[in-house]
Structure 1
């Protein structure tokens, strides 16, 4: 919302010598965000010019360039000696004879942009023909300013080349622009910004002059007939609870708007159009109350405010025919009773059929109060945002329509002639909010600053609230002002506390450094997560973060079998993308997208991991209750809320493709394979000092049946799976062949690692190494053989490692040879050969008994 300082000064006293920067800073101090500062920063000759001729050429890049001759008159700051100036321009939205805005050499435009004569496109350009954004008038850069189109033909009738454009467009005056938050809709007016500036100056007595405080006539039976009929489909809220209509007869609608009004409208970032439109826009900017003017002679019956009927259409003022929805609130002309005419979308935009034209002599002014929700839904439904809708959907003061209509009627008569009809329509169904019993000391408790009782009451009254003493000691009854719908709720005490703190000054709230409580450091779970991430990063994997949303058909593409609980996913009611409406049940489900994206962008060797939550409802979700916002949910409500939340275990997903070891002068490289994933999981387990058992798993999607390992704790609790993904899954997911992956349960590892690990003293005695080769059936897992060797070898065994697997000549069919290296070491002595042989024989015997191994 913009506000010229001269307009602001009419409603409130500005500090002596206050600049736009000072005023903006004052508004920031009461919670408004500064958006921009316009005007007051142009120096040098900015004049009106008339295009006399131009030569247009097309450049090599296809851009049209015009070499113009412009009459800029005789300007005192740069003596042109009456000569016409040659100016190069890249816009094409003007013709010979048009009045334009020209900045001449020596001028400085907003942002410190200095203008000088310079050579461009092979010719000297003595200045520049300006667009709106170049002089801070607006944000349009689609073409240069053509004054008759900006101000209207009648408004530039006396303008001559060489006239000062700074004064003509009001660019010498500073205009502040503030960003208005949704709860401060009253600041979408100069009235509201003036009130906030007044608060920033301490709310001095007599320092704010409310433009809405004008004498208005009471409603009577001779006004234009209006009927409010609304089925109130929006939760029982009527779409219109006040409608004021005034009639002005004998108006010369073709009369030009006064120059001061044109200038202010331009300063507000709008374009003067016609007297009736300019008046309604001016009043809207002044008071925040949108108005609409109708050609009274086009209306044949009473105005009826109602909801749209099926099949109805409306051509709005932007010449777009719109199909109406039954929830749209309409302004209609009831006609002769047989058929009615839709005049406009209430609170959004009027229709083209009843707009005021130059031939109009009788004008009906509408000033109404519409339900914010109804206007917001209509605006979004039709993708139609107007100055009116921006105000109505944030809340307009329901007490101001009569004053707005009166102000508009007076301005029309003053500048267009005619007379105001004595008939006044004012259908007022608004209700004042009930007083809220506020404990005065509660403000101090909420903010943390001691506010005297008198100070709190004074601030509330300065805000416009009615404050009365309450029968209860320490309380007052507060009724919020009509322009503050944000203070009307079941428990507004925090809102009032915020207002007191805001007006008293946020800078008066001391900055107190909090005293930290005695902490306990990281939790065990946090430590585990860090260890897991460090172990995988140390193994060469890159950590990524993906969105936990997946597609409907992902379970099919990952070949999850029917009945697999990973198919039971939570469906979002309002997903970010309709293509991904489900929450992931495994980390790999979303990690595959990251891998595919990296591969598609030319990365052939990729190794990724992600740690995050998955969502496992395990069945149909329970419906959660919707608790009241007026207080804390009850115990049973909390239980139902928690019961409706799906289980969310923490998992780690790992994916890799391409080369595990690069080729080079040192030799051939090596592609990633299933064993790399097993090694990654074992590295994580080793970092947490959690023993794991690795066994083959031939039936766990999405892994390859023959290249999938099951990782479990010693007690059989599954930690996760690792290996090569199924070729059909890779094809369905558009991933490279032989991609490998793993997924492990961090919660299981967290529980397993939450125990004291006994440190073992390192033996200084030498180790004894012995190798054995065992013949076993090919269907016997190597892990079972290793487990048997460990059981039989005894306490002196320090390590077992498989270093060779052989199948071929001199090996019985259906068997294979596994070669192990056993390491023995005693803590108190050097082991003898006889002792080591005994340990070895015991280990072999255990393997023979357990898995049928035969020593070679």
Structure 2
């Protein structure tokens, strides 16, 4: 918001320079973006009056004038002398008060005024337009001053141009400062000064004309006021003082009625609107738009209103009322005030922030009114706004005012809020003790109703927050206000006191970073994909599974939550392959979202780690044979993760059937009957549908099942020799080697310290349907050298158990 410093000082005038004032406002949380002069640098421009005006003898578009400067005198102008000036402006006329740049004056851009001859006629100065003295970017003619402008006065002093415009970038929670009234209140509080507000008196109605008002949407519009003003002068002009105040706040003057409503918006922070009374049919009805209802806006663009848009409509004939304006956003062209309007209906209403929030953006609009209503305006200000506007309008355009008609719903008007502030919490949050009296003064000056209470050993302030402070809801909001007004710079810098405390670290816990580093060391790259994925691709990977659908997705391709990381990772592989990256190895950690009615909020969120590989086993190298990655490559990566638990043998890999994975190249991983995850190759048909090039292998593991390791137990190192015995065991082809190893480990006893499958053979000498497993057993004792008999007993026990349990036999 832009505002004039001089206008602000009419309300409250602290003993601060412009820069100091801007700095103070910024430090109070209302950031100042810029401080700019309201006019260009110029000297020697004086208020004058055109006392003679006639055509130039040799130029049709020029006029020869004589200008009176009153008692003004200078080195080039004697007191009482009439100055001859040639002017080309169309609006130059007899009796006009003008801004005169005399000979020797310096205009913006270091432009010096000199005596000149125009078509043979001498000119001793220039009649200035607004643009020529830096009041506007362009102008149609010379500047017209008020009839009571004193002759001979410096224009800079007369218009108070030694002023600056301060541009404040307000945060969304400070809608109360979007007007001079709120800003002055803040400056007054910061400087402990009283604020001088303009006296607003109610205008007694002089006519009985009124319009009935009905509100169909009480929650969106709890209060609506209206007043009829008849017989205004359509030829009246906005006074220069108001034009200047509007200009310095970044608002262009349009016509007196619109200018007054804009003036109220800037002065009180309250948007208003005026309708042409002759264009209204029946009464006023505040309602939501009808389906496909159309409205032509003031900018002449026609919009199709959405059903959730609040509109101001008339009741029409036989109840067929039309929309007149988008409530709190933009007026309509057909009901707008024009240069021919003589009767108007003035509106002053409170629309709730939620009713306006986001509505303007739906139509590609952003107006001063919507900017304020979205943030919240004072719900008690409507009477002041309409009375102040009435007073200004009658003074400028004349006319007669009718009574103020009000429709409201008290239950829906925001009420004051009670919030408690505790001394202990205040000191704790700020880290500094502010005296009780100062805290009470700060809160009171902010417009809060404050009462003090003692609650045992703690002091408590009971604060009644006015309804216009929508941002004050809880105790910490009051603490922020106290610290802000006290001044952040006034809070001493105190180093925080902290004590070191050794926290317990569970030795058995494995950090996720350790898992990530393991995969990075195995040539993986970490990826981060969206939690919401394309439902079409996810349905291919998880056919028939229930999914969590987003009510307001970013796009249709990101409308469901992921059931696994496969969707995002596989799309990343496609993205990389399309950019000539043939070898891809990615992993990701995060949450997956599985619908589950028994879980909290109906969804089970599980932390997972997943990976995908595609392309060659290694990067191309002259010493390494080129080969595509296969199932055992990714299985080895998974086993590397499981080995971090120092209990990898407790995890079982078993063949699994999953629709999206290749049959025969897929394994599920379990531990004590609990599913840990899957590893396998993507189904060839899905590779084609997703757009992958070549074989792609993936894995996914539950983090909760692999983040605890088995704590190593220290034992004595044996000083005695170890003994190795090799067994060649023949078993049926469908018997898992791991089951054989588990049986051997189970019956091997304490002497068995190592077990290794070092060969698998099928072929000549082995019956069809069978396979030979070559297994090495290492036996050792910590107290003695094992005798042959003890070793033989262990081997015999192993062989007998394998024969009994698995019908295995030793290979001949």
Q: TM-score range by the shorter chain?
A: 0.7 to 0.9
Q: Residue 744 of structure 1 aligns with which residue?
A: 701
CA contact (8 A) 1:443 1:496 kept: no
Return the offset for 1:684: 1.8
1:603 has 2:581 as partner: yes
Q: Distance in 2 between matches of 1:559 and 1:606?
A: 23
Once the two structures are superposed, the pairs formed by residues 556-705 of structure 1 within 5 Å of their partners are 556-558=539-541, 560=543, 567-618=545-596, 620=597, 643-644=600-601, 646-690=603-647, 691-705=649-663
The alignment partner of 1:616 has SS state of strand
Q: Residue 781 of structure 1 aligns with which residue?
A: 736
Q: Distance in 1 between matches of 2:318 and 2:142?
A: 42
Q: Distance in 2 between matches of 1:168 and 1:677?
A: 84
Q: Residue 274 of structure 1 aligns with which residue?
A: 255
Q: Residue 540 of structure 1 aligns with which residue?
A: 523
Q: Distance in 2 between matches of 1:815 and 1:469?
A: 91
Q: Distance in 2 between matches of 1:325 and 1:335?
A: 21
1:813 has 2:798 as partner: no
Q: Residue 77 of structure 1 aligns with which residue?
A: 110
1:707 has 2:634 as partner: no
- Identify the match of residue 200 of structure 1 among 190, 199, 218: 190
Runs of at least 5 residues in structure 2 that lack an aligned partner in the other structure: 44-105, 117-128, 146-154
Q: Residue 486 of structure 2 aligns with which residue?
A: 504
Q: Distance in 2 between matches of 1:720 and 1:209?
A: 73
CA contact (8 A) 2:34 2:166 kept: yes
Q: Distance in 2 between matches of 1:572 and 1:188?
A: 37
The alignment partner of 1:277 has SS state of helix
The alignment partner of 2:608 has SS state of strand
Q: Distance in 2 between matches of 1:570 and 1:302?
A: 49
Q: Distance in 1 between matches of 2:664 and 2:448?
A: 77
Runs of at least 5 residues in structure 1 that lack an aligned partner in the other structure: 46-72, 84-98, 104-134, 138-144, 159-164, 623-642
Q: Residue 211 of structure 2 aligns with which residue?
A: 226
Q: Residue 424 of structure 1 aligns with which residue?
A: 403
Return the offset for 1:315: 1.2
Once the two structures are superposed, the pairs formed by residues 208-247 of structure 1 within 5 Å of their partners are 208-211=195-198, 213-217=199-203, 222=207, 224-232=209-217, 237=219, 239-245=221-227, 247=229
Return the offset for 1:846: 4.7
1:855 has 2:808 as partner: no
The alignment partner of 1:176 has SS state of strand
Q: Which range is displaced more, 5-14 or 511-520?
A: 511-520
The alignment partner of 1:607 has SS state of strand
Q: How many residues of Structure 1 are paired with residues of Structure 2 in the alignment? A: 725
The alignment partner of 1:786 has SS state of helix
1:758 has 2:713 as partner: yes
CA contact (8 A) 1:765 1:825 kept: yes
**C-alpha root-mean-square deviation of aligned residues, in Å?**
4.5
C-alpha distance after superposition, 1:579-635 (max 9, x if no partner): 3333333333443333333333332222222222333344x367xxxxxxxxxxxxx
1:305 has 2:338 as partner: no
The alignment partner of 1:229 has SS state of strand
Return the offset for 1:785: 3.3
Q: Distance in 2 between matches of 1:282 and 1:647?
A: 56
The alignment partner of 2:594 has SS state of coil
1:293 has 2:274 as partner: yes
- Cα pair distance change 1:439/1:609, threshold 3 Å: closer
1:178 has 2:163 as partner: no
The alignment partner of 2:17 has SS state of coil
TM-score between both structures, scaled by the size of structure 2: 0.77
Q: Distance in 1 between matches of 2:109 and 2:586?
A: 70
The alignment partner of 1:198 has SS state of helix
CA contact (8 A) 2:295 2:332 kept: yes
Return the offset for 1:421: 1.5
Once the two structures are superposed, the pairs formed by residues 313-392 of structure 1 within 5 Å of their partners are 313-335=294-316, 339-376=320-357, 378-392=359-373
Return the offset for 1:3: 2.1
The alignment partner of 2:299 has SS state of coil
TM-score between both structures, scaled by the size of structure 1: 0.73
Return the offset for 1:185: 1.0
C-alpha distance after superposition, 1:83-106 (max 9, x if no partner): 9xxxxxxxxxxxxxxx99899xxx
Q: Distance in 2 between matches of 1:780 and 1:469?
A: 83
Q: Distance in 2 between matches of 1:732 and 1:167?
A: 78
The alignment partner of 1:647 has SS state of strand
- Cα pair distance change 1:538/1:171, threshold 3 Å: farther
CA contact (8 A) 1:228 1:306 kept: no
Q: Distance in 2 between matches of 1:39 and 1:76?
A: 14
Give the greater-gyration-radius structure (CA).
2
- Cα pair distance change 1:783/1:470, threshold 3 Å: closer
Return the offset for 1:689: 0.9
C-alpha distance after superposition, 1:319-360 (max 9, x if no partner): 232333454433233455565343212211111012222233
CA contact (8 A) 2:201 2:388 kept: no
Return the offset for 1:496: 3.6
Q: Which range is displaced more, 425-434 or 384-393?
A: 425-434
CA contact (8 A) 1:314 1:322 kept: yes
Return the offset for 1:781: 2.2
CA contact (8 A) 2:260 2:389 kept: yes
The alignment partner of 1:527 has SS state of coil
- Cα pair distance change 1:326/1:80, threshold 3 Å: same
CA contact (8 A) 1:4 1:174 kept: yes
Q: Which range is displaced more, 473-482 or 586-595?
A: 473-482
CA contact (8 A) 1:295 1:362 kept: yes
- Identify the match of residue 679 of structure 2 among 722, 725, 734: 722
- Cα pair distance change 1:603/1:808, threshold 3 Å: same
- Cα pair distance change 1:485/1:558, threshold 3 Å: closer
- Cα pair distance change 1:447/1:686, threshold 3 Å: closer
The alignment partner of 2:739 has SS state of helix
C-alpha distance after superposition, 1:207-264 (max 9, x if no partner): x2224x422335x5945423332233xxx62614141425263323573x45554454
- Cα pair distance change 1:399/1:821, threshold 3 Å: same
Once the two structures are superposed, the pairs formed by residues 446-461 of structure 1 within 5 Å of their partners are 447=429, 450-461=433-444
- Cα pair distance change 1:812/1:707, threshold 3 Å: same
- Cα pair distance change 1:17/1:342, threshold 3 Å: same
- Identify the match of residue 734 of structure 1 among 688, 691, 710: 691
Q: Distance in 2 between matches of 1:446 and 1:777?
A: 74
CA contact (8 A) 2:206 2:400 kept: no
